[in-house]
A and B are shown apart, each in its own frame.
Chain A
Amino acid sequence: MSTLIPSKFSRRSFLRTSSLTSGGMLIGFNFFTACKDTAVMPVDISKLNYNDFNAFIKIADNGMVTIFSPNPEIGQGVKTSMPMIIAEELEVPWEHVHVAQGVLDTENYVRQVAGGSQSIRFGWDALRQTGATARQMLVNAAATKWKVDPSTCTAKKGIITNSKGETLGYGDVVKEAAGMEVPENVALKDPKEYTLIGTDVGNVDIDKIITGKPLFGLDYKAEGMVYAAVLRPPAFGQTLVSYDETAAKATPGVIDVIKIGSKAQEMMTKEDVNWTVKLAQSEKVVVLAKNTWAAMQGKKAINAVWEQSTTPESTALHQQKLLDLLNGNKFKTLRKDGDIKKAFSKADKVIERTYESPFLPHNCMEPMNFYANVTDEKIHLVGPVQTPADAAATVAAMLGRDMADVRLEMTRMGGGFGRRLYGDFVYEAAEISDTIKKPIKMVSSREDDMTTGVYRPAITYRISASIKDGEITGYHLKEAAINGNMYGLIPNFFPAGAIENYQVDAASYDSSITTGAWRAPYTNFLAFAEQNFIDELAHELDKDPVALRLALLQKVKGSTDDRIQYSPERMEDVIHLAVEKSGYQTPKEGVYQGFCAYYCHNTHVAEVADVVMENNTPVIKKITVAVDCGIVVNPLGALNQVEGGVVDGVGHAMYGDFKFNDSTPASNNYDGYRLIRNGEAPKVETHFVKNTLSPTGLGEPTLPPAGAAIAIAIQKATGNRLYKQPFVSNMKAKNILG
């Protein structure tokens, strides 16, 4: 059976075609939105117009297909998996497909953002429909040539066959297909018929990566380009008073020293400003040099005077402020079911626990950098950014230029984790180039990156529950966070709906330290607090932790509360799969297992951590993961995401610590900041729930449960229950090995 997808847009208008002057057919399409009436399809492949289209597919007259992948690649695999979806419906062998990064963005580039594990989820329908429509046009063209009904023809592996067994390759009919009307009501394939989706496809950039070819922003070079190192305020809330550039200018290789920040500052006075401009608004000193080393050396030679304009903040202050908030009454209520107060007053017992987490830097391995060449005619920007459309629009506004002047090219990104959602480094690069009227490459050092970041803020949770007659009657989650609180749908995650009296409250402390999204925002720590608490509740109730979760899920089934985000049935599936594959009911002698089940980013995940004691030290040996992310487009890539997400979750829960003194980070490089390393990584064993539901994201949802699973296993192994991250600083056994 084929499926017809209910479409938000008319098929006629979301896709357009043209015949290329160099031969072949070009298809342009938009996600979610119709093409403008004025949208014109280019006939020259070098003039792809991203003003009107999200992405293009070129089918050459030799049948080879080039897909201009529309989404930024930060390591989550979409540059491979999204074209796979098009190729599946287009019925073209993967060997005939070449994937090129979608070159640039502009105002209409709707979902050209990598973040929130949403690329696949949003792209699924549009990509399938585009591939299927293109396939149908090729079939229609062949049928017209043969003078037969298109329904008597089939397309497989780039070849169209009619009922007599005659064949035509896609390349043979592209010219005719390009001129045909775009068909409506094109049938999509049944997932059971997939031949490419669900198979292992290697990373499309693998050959370049293993041979060291230029791919990343830091690798980009242009004629006449100079390197720029930026001296930013050494503490948050500081502003530049004065600086002496003499020694910097005497550094070999240094060309000039300038000051920037006025353009961003000026922009902050306007209305409707993208808030990320705030990140770039302070005055900074820029050293321009012939090479990166000279720029970095010159920067060290600047003698600058700074002034603190805000109250200096320390980690001790943050901890106190967050505890004060938890003890106070400045909460806003995000969800309220029943009557918490009543449930607590009638309870046999009330349990209350507090969980604390530190700030975390993103630490993308490729430091922030961007190329900019601002001339009177054009603004050319090249580099790694997760939000290219926003960045380009903001640069245009900041420099008082027309959007049409801006060309932004995306490179492969050496990690994102949320940091590259914020385009401050793009604005800086543009302002530098605008000031000196030369092509420049702004390069941050590791120290710049770690100390002038947009951090995961410190957050504390206080969870309390009431128990009456052996049942959980009330659940109260309080959040105290820095610079904002959990948003949107998170209050409707588990255990919302499963406990009659349920309340989520949140309070925030305003800090001058910049904070933002970090891989799986809020849930990256909330999962640990909540699942650790549920485990403790199970102990209190003398119930098996898995049985307790299943009993709670039972209460959500058939709920008419449409705010509830997770599916109790899908959660059950991952719980059963994780239990079965990890041997949770029958653990081996000496193996302590921690169980966790969580939903976030539209994906359900259960994880079981295996910990053993070696020389009185807990060692995390293995994590068994069960995931329901719907159809797994590319298992090879999906497994990599799961493995990475889990080990990243383990690493930050174990080691991630980032302290402040006087609004200055206490560590600035990997000698003082610990990231998980090879020998500490547990083995990750992944199992996917097999179903034919639409795919959901994988870049984030496996990270949050990992911290809880290992904490619970460590508790079983050592008797030491953990309430505070990072674990290494908060438990007796200091040397925990993976």
Chain B
Amino acid sequence: MPTYNLTINGKPQTIEATADMPLLWALRDELDMVGTKYGCGIGQCGACTVHVNGNATRSCQLQVSQLEGKEITTIEGLSEDGSHPVQKAWKEVDVPQCGYCQAGQIMTASAFLDKNPNPSEQEIKNAMHGNICRCAAYNRIQQAVAIAAENKSV
């Protein structure tokens, strides 16, 4: 089986996998980084969102063979201790119900705020539209993104 050298959360990682293995499963099953969640496997729900070169991307749609030389960030690497402004806002608002989709929500929100630090309410809704929360904690997700934006710009 081929091996691939990836850079994940700033650290080099070697994975032995088939070329078509999605990053999602390489992270979860091979590297024991289970914060990135499986929800649909077809890029529709956003639970598996990671950053690739700073862009929010669905890890279920990325094959390990496409990723050498790219900077991959997962929820485990967003901050060392949960201190990223988006994580802090999530805690302040107490967003989660079941909590399963939240890592993906946080990864989408953090990449979005890097590009648009002062979003409008409508821009937040649009940016978060691709991430399904089955518990429907959408009001709080919007609120937390707005708070994170405020705290970030201070």
Interface residues of A (CB under 8 A from B): 74-77, 200, 202-203, 205-207, 209-216, 218-219, 221, 227, 252-253, 291-294, 296, 363-367, 412-417, 445-446, 636-637, 640-641, 643-648, 651, 669-671, 675-679, 681, 683-684
Contact = CB atoms under 8 A, between A and B. Distances in A.
Contact of A210 (B32, B34, B102): B102
A643 B140 contact: yes
Contact of A203 (B22, B41, B99): B99
A684 B139 contact: yes
B57 interface: no
B32 A221 contact: yes
B141 interface: yes
A367 B38 contact: yes
A653 to B, nearest CB: 12
B35 A414 contact: no
A363 B134 contact: yes
A641 B41 CA distance: 28
Point out which of B79, B96, B134 has the most chain A C-beta atoms below 10 A from its C-beta.
B134
Interface in B29-47: 29-30, 32-42, 44-45, 47
Given A206-B90, A675-B132, 10 more contacts: A206-B91, A210-B91, A210-B103, A211-B75, A211-B79, A214-B34, A219-B34, A363-B134, A364-B134, A678-B133
B21 interface: yes
A74 B74 CA distance: 25
Nearest to A290: B29
A75 B99 contact: yes
A412 to B, nearest CB: 7
A446 B132 CA distance: 14
Contacts of A294: 18
Given A644-B135, A669-B40, A670-B42, A211 B82 contact: yes
B28 interface: yes
B146 interface: no
Contacts of A684: 139
A640 B129 contact: no
22 contacts: A211-B75, A211-B81, A212-B33, A216-B100, A293-B18, A293-B29, A365-B37, A365-B39, A366-B37, A366-B39, A367-B38, A415-B135, A640-B137, A641-B97, A643-B139, A647-B136, A648-B136, A669-B40, A669-B42, A677-B138, A678-B141, A681-B139
Interface of B: 1, 17-18, 21-22, 25, 28-30, 32-42, 44-45, 47, 74-76, 78-79, 81-82, 87, 90-91, 94, 96-103, 106, 125-126, 128-142
B110 to A, nearest CB: 11
A206 B94 contact: yes
A571 B146 CA distance: 36
A412 B35 contact: no
Contacts of A651: 136
B94 A365 contact: no
A79 to B, nearest CB: 11
A206 B88 CA distance: 10
Contacts, number: 182
B34 A218 contact: yes
A684 B136 CA distance: 11
Nearest to A366: B100
B133 to A, nearest CB: 8
A253 B131 contact: no
Nearest to A450: B40
B97 A640 contact: yes
A212 B136 contact: no
Contacts of A76: 97
Point out which of A206, A214, A294, A643 has the most chain B C-beta atoms below 10 A from its C-beta.
A206
A221 B38 CA distance: 15
Nearest to A77: B97
Contact of A292 (B25, B37, B39, B140): B25
Contacts of B40: 446, 669-670
B135 A648 contact: yes
B44 A212 contact: no
A75 B39 CA distance: 16
Contact of A415 (B44, B74, B100, B125): B100
B129 to A, nearest CB: 5
B90 A210 contact: yes
B30 to A, nearest CB: 7
B150 to A, nearest CB: 18
A670 B97 contact: no
Nearest to B19: A252
A214 B22 CA distance: 20
B147 to A, nearest CB: 14
